Amino acid sequence: MLVKREELVTRFFKYVQVPSQSKPNGGLVVPSTESQWAMIRLLQEECETLGLVDLHVSDKAVLTGRLPAHVPDDFSGRVPAVGFCAHVDTVDVSLSPEVHPQIIHAYDGGDIVLNEAANIVMKRGEHPELAPYEGQDIIVSDGTSVLGADNKSAIANIMTALHTLVEDSSLYHGDIYVAFVPDEECGLFGSKNMDYTKFPVDFAYTIDSCELGEVVYETFNAGSGTVTIHGVSAHPMSAKGVLVNPTLVAVDFINMFNREETPECTEGKEGYIWCQGVQSNQSTAIVSLNIRDHDKLKYEAKKALIEANVKQLQAQYSRATITCELSDTYGNIADAITEDNKKAIDYVYEAMDRLGITPKTIAMRGGTDGSFISTQGILTPNYFTGALNFHSKYEFLPIDSFYKSYEMTLTLIQLIYEKALVR
């Protein structure tokens, strides 16, 4: 246990110190930053060393590969092929792309000085989520960046698990596929640009949730909308009856929606339409919208409402030209569950039971790479990394929970093989 724990932490430190922040660009260029290539090339080399086959790096910086099945000579069954997917990018929240991790040994329960020189302190009173980890070793950043456990803890988890399987011939398993993808944080563009013929699995897992025990197999259905309003410009001296101010038209459009169905007014499985931004000048206004709902029918109804409001707005402002573009971003993982593949979720709970972990099932108000992968017919639930406070300079990773996440990965692989024995 101690050796693997040290390997896990060593790999994590190695990975987070490779800058790989992504930058939103609407998927026009994937990967969105050249720095993500460094992580992909590093992982390619490590996968080659571990003996993975069918390794392929696409022009979009998607790395796929397979650890061949290892079963007894007299085994005659079929072990389902399982995939593990993790993203190599860290999020851009206007913090440094450079990560400087540090370990707080035997956390004493008080404030944590992340960076004495910069006076960056994680105050215990402001972060009650620290309390359960008193006495444990935890990994933090220096406060100038996110930690990057989202999602490099998953990469360390997967790579350590593969190493364990390679070095221990007593551990039997079926084909294990890996996919390391860029640009998850800015729109799941890595998984959207995967060649799924190179990931021929029965089901897969992402390891992209937070604290110990979290399980996610329900996510939002997600989409985006862009409403473009071309008004009629005029000089103020002759504007009466002529000017159609696109900025005010945009305000009228935004006010057509229910203010109680926005992110700040909803929770759980309640969906929303979020006006994320307005860009406007004298002639044109562009309104950007996010559309979210766990329920597919309600999600489609929200898209229909946007189109209906645009139609009504166009009728109200007949001299303006108003267009609407809607697109789907990802789907609800749960919509991909079938009688044949739901065992992928059952294995998660059985693995947790074996490891003495209390499940914390969450209907995620967001999405993962698995939210898109599941739309491709590959059910891809998500389980915990052990980290907390993703997307924050106060992100932290309790090492005990991190190790449990690694044990989850190995236990899942073992369960999948064991279940194949009894069929």
Beta strands 176-181 and 82-87, pairing class: parallel
Are 329 and 188 in contact by the 8 Å Cβ rule? The answer is yes
Are 249 and 280 in contact by the 8 Å Cβ rule? The answer is no
Other beta carbons less than 10 A from residue 43's beta carbon: 23
Are 183 and 20 in contact by the 8 Å Cβ rule? The answer is no
The pair of three-digit structure tokens given for residue 196, joined into one six-digit string: 């799924």
Q: How far apart are CA 280 and CA 271, in angstroms?
A: 27
Q: Is 89 a catalytic residue?
A: yes
The pair of three-digit structure tokens given for residue 292, joined into one six-digit string: 């979210």
Cα 369 to chain center, whole Å? 5
Query: Strand order of the sheet with strand 138-140?
Result: 102-104, 138-140, 396-398
Query: Which residue in the list 89, 202, 214, 407 is annotated as catalytic?
Result: 89
If 0-12 CB within 10 Å is exposed, 13-18 middle and 19+ buried, where does residue 277 land?
A: exposed
Element (H, E) at 157: helix 149-167
Q: What is the DSSP string of 69-124?
A: -B--TT--S-PPPEEEEEE--B--SSS-S----EEETT--SS-EEEETTTTEEE-G
Q: What is the DSSP string of 316-346?
A: HSTTSEEEEEEEEEE--GGGG--TTTTHHHH
Query: Which residue in the list 142, 150, 183, 184 is annotated as catalytic?
Result: 184
Are 118 and 141 in contact by the 8 Å Cβ rule? The answer is no
Other beta carbons less than 10 A from residue 76's beta carbon: 6
Distance between start and end Cα atoms, the chain: 32
Are 285 and 223 in contact by the 8 Å Cβ rule? The answer is no
Beta strands 284-293 and 120-122, pairing class: unpaired
Q: How far apart are CA 413 and CA 173, in angstroms?
A: 6
Q: Which residues are catalytic?
A: 89, 184
